[in-house]
Amino acid sequence: MSEIDPVMLAVLKGRLEQIADEMDATLFRSAFNPIIAEAHDASHGLYHAETGETLIQGKSGLPIFVGAMSFAVKMVIDKIKSDDLDLEDGDVFIFNDPYEGGTHLSDFKLVRPFFQAGELFCFMASVGHWHDVGGNVPGNYNPAATECYQEGMLIPPVRLFQGGVLNQDIVAILQANSRQPGSLYGDLNGQISALDLGERRLGELLDEYGPAEVLQVLAELKHSAARLMASYIAELPDGTYSADDWLDNDGIIDEPLKVALDIIIDGASMTLDFSRTSPACAGPVNISRATAIASCYVALKHIFRDVPANSGVMEPIRFVIPEGSLLSVGRPKPVGGYTETILRVIDVMFVAISKVAPEMSNGCAYGTINALSLAGHRKNGARWVMFSFFGGGHGGHPLGDGLNHGNAPISTATIPPLEILEAAYPVRFTQWALRTDSGGPGNHRGGLGAVYEIELLEEQADVFLFGERGKFAPPGVAGGGEGALNRFTYPDGKGGEASPPMMSKMVDINLNRSERVRIESPGGGGYGDPRARDPGRVAEDVRLGYVSTTAAAEDYKCSVTEDGVLDAPATEKLRGGR
């Protein structure tokens, strides 16, 4: 086949990416659930017809799904082969099995074969985080789960549509297992609509350019990503670079769990060895191998920012993840809190890379989504379930301070606006503010976490929290300091407040009308020596309320008044005349 014209390559790359982006937008605009509609916890893409590898991914969805969805599509391909299924145009498979397809039970995947002139061209896929999929805890983040069946319904790949005909019985089963059947139905139809649009758009593209040219472009995009990734790795010095971090506990046993990484650089190849990581645990912070690999992909994309988002990125990478590890479990080990563990995988990637190429790394982000569920009944008896996640500070980086109150680096999702949550549920946010002194000190300070205080407006609700970083703060890199620890408080029933015995996880908190729960999320780790920070910037931080006068003196050796005025002689004395 002739060499691809660079202009044509760019045009078709843009057209293919636009298809996935339009699929994202279709679901975001039609979903019933704020976690999809507002927070964009979903993703769409095109996948290889034989291997399931990622060909094109939407830019608005969650990056964690870029890696995970290739495993999900491969799961459908294996199902087709093992059951000797005859694929038809209009088939759609639905499932949420996290052990081969990645992530957790809340993420429902729809996979649709795309045919061109009667031949299978590729697979299209949609994934979205549904509001409630059964299990012991509304919203499904159950910190006390010891098996997956306590986390929600588990659906293997089954045909939702066959030849374009909907199997209504499957929809009935799904709705019967959710506390929010209407939300589920709306989200499901949004995903179906996204696949319908993707099929139309891809059909129009193939009619215009022909399948041969489009396949050639897809192959070139993959090879380009692989070549670029290998070239970046080859620029790093050979050697082994290590990092260890910890999870607070598994929600069952109050003992820390280690996530350990050895990055081995050898020429143009990289090995990510997690052999020193803790074994699988009783509670729900385990993850599957597919999820672990997907989280490494996200970290690599943060470090090597301009490598295209397709499976070629992973070609120069080798993984060592032992069977039975915390990062490689199978059914029925619980995996509902997967977000907390993949954030720790990303953190050890950042810290390990900082030891060989600090200019490519950054301080660790806040490291927990603080999954919070409030659930109860309205006066008319209707069930309500509020599930949301909350932001924190990002790490300082070579070019500047970390982002204040951002979302986790596993995603491009947004934190649901408080106006949306207050309109949908009987709650009032009495505080939503930046958290002073939560960012790790550094030449480039870590971003600030936030304070969220939520008041109940109904008579009674049950509250569940699944978080992390209550004991082990987000690390800084290149001499930067740690961010603040996570903190959660709730009424103790005696007029005071209490914190969870395991610091970051709690079930069955009873909340009465006008009572409040409070999250103080971590900030990001700092980047570089705090004493190298310009005192004028420290003074500005104090003026804005980002840093207290006490922290300015202790962490930065700067004497600053409450209104952000620098006391230069005192600062010189604190810094030893530097």
Q: Mean per-residue pLDDT for 336-365?
A: 96
The predicted pLDDT at position 578 comes to 47
Q: What is the DSSP letter of 337?
A: T
**Residue 235 to residue 462: CA distance in whole angstroms:** 53
Residue 341 vs residue 508, higher pLDDT: 341
Q: How far apart are CA 173 and CA 451, in angstroms?
A: 39
Which tokens in the block code for residue 325?
């590890």
Residue count of the chain: 578
Q: What is the mean pLDDT of residues 407-436?
A: 88
pLDDT of residue 412: 58
**Selected residue with higher pLDDT from 569 and 464:** 464
Question: CA-to-CA distance for 41 and 143, rounded, in angstroms?
Answer: 21
State the pLDDT at residue 1: 47
pLDDT at 413 over 70: no
Point out which residues pair with 456 in neighbouring strands: 427
Check whether 46 has a pLDDT greater than 80.
yes
> In percent, how much of the chain has pLDDT > 70?
98
Q: Which residue has 């050979």 as its token pair?
A: 238
| pLDDT for residue 399 is more than 60 | yes
Residue 576 has pLDDT above 90, yes or no: no
pLDDT at 552 over 50: yes
Specify the 3-state DSSP secondary structure of 276: coil
Mean pLDDT of the chain: 93
pLDDT bucket at 5, cuts 50 / 70 / 90: confident
pLDDT tens, residue by residue, 209-232: 999 999 999 999 999 999 999 999
488-535 pLDDT tens trace: 999 998 889 999 999 999 988 999 999 999 999 999 999 999 999 999
Confidence bin at 126 (pLDDT 50/70/90): very high
Are residues 524 and 393 in contact, defined by beta-carbon separation less than 8 angstroms?
yes
pLDDT at 478: 97
Q: According to the model, what pLDDT value does residue 260 have?
A: 98
Q: Is the pLDDT of residue 577 over 90?
A: no
Contact between residue 570 and residue 552 where contact means Cβ atoms under 8 Å apart = no
- Among 149-163, 164-178, 406-420, where is mean pLDDT lowest? 406-420
φ, ψ (nearest 5 deg) of residue 345: -60, -45
Tell me what the mean pLDDT of segment 135-161 comes to: 94
